[in-house]
Chains A and B, each alone.
Chain A
Amino acid sequence: MNLKKINWIGLIAGVLAISIPFLGPWWEFTFGTGAVHMSLSPFGVEMSMMGLPASGDALGSPLLSWLLLSIKLGIIYSGSLLLAGSILSASERHSSLSAIFVRFSSRRILWLVVSFILMILIGTMITNLAPDFLSPRVGGELPIQADLPYLVGSGEITAEMDSSVRFTAPIAMGLTYSFAVSVLAAALGVISRSGIKKSE
């Protein structure tokens, strides 16, 4: 076993991939100054309303909770394969197995990061466009207007009824350091793949 042949980039990406499900939320959303706070990652959703925590099945369906668990286990599995593949690349005997492991797992984190960003962008876009899209269909202007930022920033949601009641709430959202670690893991995963190709 030649230590110099270890795919170090893949090894780091593998360790990061195994750790990211435990690093916490990737994205945070606040409605008001703390009326509603939501923390989101591909592995779980945490929410509190008026300071009261809501978690587990209360946020979505039990099926969703189990699906999120399957994503968590899937990423740990991929990270383990990437780690094993990167270490096995030091062995001449197992180099083909190493290539299979790294090829299978190296892009998983990237797809996860891309899917997560797309999901939030699409959700925000739907929320922002819904009032304009629905207004002509309901035969008048909808009483709710949303001005949400995309991924990071602050905005406002306004609702007005009969010009006698007006509701305004500031919105703030931002990405966390866990997301940055995930992006790093995704980038290293992709780079580790090209390393395998060159060594073959």
Chain B
Amino acid sequence: MKEKSVKRIISAIQMVITILCLLAAFATHNWDIGSTLRSEIPQGMIEGLVPMDPSGGDEFLEFKDFRFSEDGSRFYIGLIVNSPFNVSMTVEELSVELVMGSEVVEISLPSEVKVPNGGFASLDLEGEVPPTIELTDIDGASTSFRNMKMKLDIEGMKLEMVM
């Protein structure tokens, strides 16, 4: 009889611990079932990952400049990449086809570029000027971009885009 009572008591204590914890969960949330079951992700954490300033809407990629090497054999396109994340990211690859009249030239990033947390970095794409093209032939109206390929590394996550 005594043994049975001890067994009941030690089992009951275990049950009481669980029940008290359940009651405490509801009591600390004003007995509201919804707020006890649901979690709230702190606003600070979301803002920490992605800046929430709607006015600070910089384009992800901005055109900076277009220039030629001194001997005219190569050209460079300067771009600015604005990181939308509050973590650093690396632009591993970036290439684009430049259509100049009837000629198509691929230009690319010579080496990967690191973009600081929520900041920006300059990307200098370079390509070879085809011998059939005269520098004077190149103007904004006859030049266009297509087939942009980009590969980003964000804390080990690889994002590849074709635009």
Interface residues of A (CB under 8 A from B): 31-35, 49-52, 54, 57-67, 69-70, 73-74, 77-78, 81, 96-97, 100-101, 104, 163-170
User: In the complex, which residue of chain B has the Cβ closest to the Cβ of A73?
Assistant: B17
Q: Which residues of A contact B45 (CB under 8 A)?
A: 49, 52, 54, 58
Q: Determine whether the beta carbon of A165 is less than 8 Å from that of B160.
A: yes
Q: Which residues of B contact A81 (CB under 8 A)?
A: 10
Whether, in the assembled complex, B141 has its beta carbon less than 8 Å from a beta carbon of chain A, the answer is no
Q: Determine whether the beta carbon of B36 is less than 8 Å from that of A170.
A: no
Q: Determine whether the beta carbon of A165 is less than 8 Å from that of B157.
A: no
Q: Determine whether the beta carbon of B42 is less than 8 Å from that of A58.
A: yes
Q: Which residues of A contact B155 (CB under 8 A)?
A: 32-35, 50
In the complex with contacts A35-B154, A52-B48, A100-B10, A62-B39 CB distance below 8 A: yes
**Chain B interface residue number, banded:** 35 or more
- State A184–B158 Cα separation when bound (angstroms): 40
In the complex with contacts A32-B156, A169-B158, A50-B22 CB distance below 8 A: no
Whether, in the assembled complex, B14 has its beta carbon less than 8 Å from a beta carbon of chain A, the answer is yes
Q: Determine whether the beta carbon of A50 is less than 8 Å from that of B17.
A: no
In the complex with contacts A50-B49, A63-B25, A66-B24, A97-B6 CB distance below 8 A: yes
- State A193–B14 Cα separation when bound (angstroms): 19
Whether, in the assembled complex, B105 has its beta carbon less than 8 Å from a beta carbon of chain A, the answer is no
User: In the complex, which residue of chain A has the Cβ closest to the Cβ of B29?
Assistant: A62
Whether, in the assembled complex, B132 has its beta carbon less than 8 Å from a beta carbon of chain A, the answer is no
By Cβ-Cβ distance, the 8 closest A-B pairs, closest first, are: A33-B156, A32-B156, A70-B21, A66-B25, A35-B155, A169-B157, A166-B160, A32-B157
Residue contacts A-B, CB under 8 angstroms, 25 given: A35-B157, A49-B45, A49-B49, A52-B45, A54-B42, A54-B45, A57-B39, A58-B42, A62-B29, A62-B36, A62-B39, A63-B25, A63-B26, A63-B36, A65-B25, A70-B22, A73-B17, A74-B18, A104-B11, A165-B161, A167-B157, A168-B157, A169-B156, A169-B158, A170-B156
The minimal Cβ–Cβ distance linking A182 to chain B, given in whole angstroms, is 19
Q: Determine whether the beta carbon of A61 is less than 8 Å from that of B36.
A: yes
User: In the complex, which residue of chain B has the Cβ closest to the Cβ of A167?
Assistant: B159
Q: Determine whether the beta carbon of B39 is less than 8 Å from that of A50.
A: no
User: In the complex, which residue of chain B has the Cβ closest to the Cβ of A170?
Assistant: B156
- State A77–B10 Cα separation when bound (angstroms): 9
Q: Which residues of B contact A166 (CB under 8 A)?
A: 158-161
Whether, in the assembled complex, B3 has its beta carbon less than 8 Å from a beta carbon of chain A, the answer is yes
The minimal Cβ–Cβ distance linking A38 to chain B, given in whole angstroms, is 14
Q: Which residues of A contact B39 (CB under 8 A)?
A: 57-62, 64
Q: A32-B156, A61-B37, A104-B10 are in contact. List 6 more A-B contacts (CB 8 A).
A: A35-B156, A49-B49, A73-B17, A74-B17, A77-B17, A166-B158
